[in-house]
Amino acid sequence: QQPVQSPQAVILREGEDAVINCSSSKALYSVHWYRQKHGEAPVFLMILLKGGEQKGHDKISASFNEKKQQSSLYLTASQLSYSGTYFCGTSLWDSGSRLTFGEGTQLTVNP
Judged by beta carbon, residue 11 or residue 43, the one nearer another protein is 43
How many whole angstroms separate alpha carbon 72 and alpha carbon 70?
A: 7
- Rounded to a whole number of angstroms, the minimum distance from the CB of residue 63 to another protein is 17
- Rounded to a whole number of angstroms, the minimum distance from the CB of residue 98 to another protein is 4
Q: Residues in the site for another protein, rule: CB under 8 A? A: 2, 29-30, 32, 34, 40-44, 47, 49, 87, 89, 91, 94, 96-104
Judged by beta carbon, residue 13 or residue 54, the one nearer another protein is 54
